[in-house]
A and B are shown apart, each in its own frame.
Chain A
Amino acid sequence: MAESLHKESKVIEDISAKFKIAGKVQRERRVWVTIDKDELIALCNFAKGLGFEHLSAISVTDWPEEGTFELTYHLWSYSERILLTIKTKLDRANPAVGSVVPIWKENAQIHERELHELFGVEFEGNEDLTPLFLEDWDGPPPFRKDFDWKEYVRQQYYDQANERERAYYD
């Protein structure tokens, strides 16, 4: 088992040699590393250099109790056939992070534009963060955990006085 994960351990060795961080091999072809927000761009640049040229997705997880946003960058390498996930944490009150648009270009641009709309994360250096999906939206960013979706839907669409719709209030 240890031998078959040689490729994966190699990626972690390369990264930890330069950035002083530990990573873990989750299973075959899955590598996860966590890094401080300030070093994120440097690590992304380094990862691109290692051959991770396909940015598969960027995701945000909201942790309101901790007061953080967790960003995950999922990178795929066509040559090594490994998925590297880079995780970093942002302050929820001031969710700003450097943009990876200079590294993955249009691909990153569109992912960041989506997350800016749905989570309200600021990507410094991304010039086009206009809303993508929602038109005339005046509420808070809808994917945040503190946005009470059910309450919003009730107020917006349902009427408690209506016999048919009372079920939505129970």
Chain B
Amino acid sequence: MVEQATKMKRLINAIWIFNWFNSCGFCELIPLVGSRWDMERFGMIITGTPRHADVLFIAGYQTLKSIKRAQVIYEQMPDPKAVIALGACTMSGGMYWDSYNTIKRLADYIPVNIYIPGCPPRPEAVFEACMKIFHHVGAVPPHGRKFAKAHRG
């Protein structure tokens, strides 16, 4: 555990994200990249391939068809890696708790590190989750020192 933490500290100075978005995740998370929320100030960028990514964002409900692809994407990511699940659907099925084609709990299919509640979660919540990753691995992002310190309490 300690060894992995050091590894992560070395690797995650900036979060590189790979998206596996469904529509609600797309609609509420793409603004993060846009000029208002601007996640690049925290060193977070979206990569084009899972091979470059540290963190996998899984947003929203997963159907039986799309969860298979999500698993392949997860396998392709290099270690150490983290998975952040967004939205109520990934926790309990959310709105689709009685749908026959969506999975109900993401952790049954992919190891999840952080769940962010909300339908869909607000951009601030996503930032907070990312701060928790930094906090968890003991690294402080170059521009987020104050934020992380306040968080540690």
**A/B contact in complex, CB under 8 angstroms:** yes
- Minimum CB–CB distance for B126 against chain A, Å: 25
Q: How far is the CA of A117 from the CA of B98 in the complex (A)?
A: 20
Q: How far is the CA of A142 from the CA of B98 in the complex (A)?
A: 13
Q: Is A78 an interface residue (CB 8 A)?
A: no
Q: Mark A131-147, 1 if CB is under 8 A from B, else 0.
A: 00111100100100000
Q: Is A157 an interface residue (CB 8 A)?
A: yes
> How would you classify the secondary structure of chain B's contact residues: helix, strand, loop or mixed?
loop
A residues neighboring B (CB under 8 Å): 133-136, 139, 142, 149-150, 152-153, 156-158, 168
Q: Are B65 and A157 in contact (CB under 8 A)?
A: no
Q: How far is the CA of A158 from the CA of B104 in the complex (A)?
A: 8
- Minimum CB–CB distance for A139 against chain B, Å: 8
B contact residues around A135 at 8 Å (CB): 64-65, 68
Q: Are A142 and B100 in contact (CB under 8 A)?
A: yes
Q: How far is the CA of A142 from the CA of B102 in the complex (A)?
A: 13
Q: Are A157 and B103 in contact (CB under 8 A)?
A: yes
B contact residues around A133 at 8 Å (CB): 65, 101
A contact residues around B93 at 8 Å (CB): 157
Q: Are B104 and A157 in contact (CB under 8 A)?
A: yes
Q: How far is the CA of A133 from the CA of B100 in the complex (A)?
A: 12
Q: How far is the CA of A168 from the CA of B93 in the complex (A)?
A: 12
Q: How far is the CA of A142 from the CA of B99 in the complex (A)?
A: 11
Q: How far is the CA of A168 from the CA of B99 in the complex (A)?
A: 13
- Minimum CB–CB distance for B127 against chain A, Å: 29
Q: How far is the CA of A150 from the CA of B100 in the complex (A)?
A: 8
Q: How far is the CA of A161 from the CA of B127 in the complex (A)?
A: 36
Chain B residue at minimal CB-CB distance from A164: B92
- Minimum CB–CB distance for A81 against chain B, Å: 32
Other than the known A133-B101, A135-B68, A156-B100, what 20 A-B pairs have Cβ atoms closer than 8 Å?
Answer: A133-B65, A134-B64, A134-B65, A134-B101, A135-B64, A135-B65, A136-B64, A139-B100, A142-B100, A142-B101, A149-B98, A149-B100, A150-B98, A152-B100, A153-B98, A153-B100, A157-B93, A157-B103, A158-B104, A168-B97
B contact residues around A156 at 8 Å (CB): 100
Most buried by A among B93, B98, B100: B100
Chain B residue at minimal CB-CB distance from A154: B98
A contact residues around B104 at 8 Å (CB): 157-158
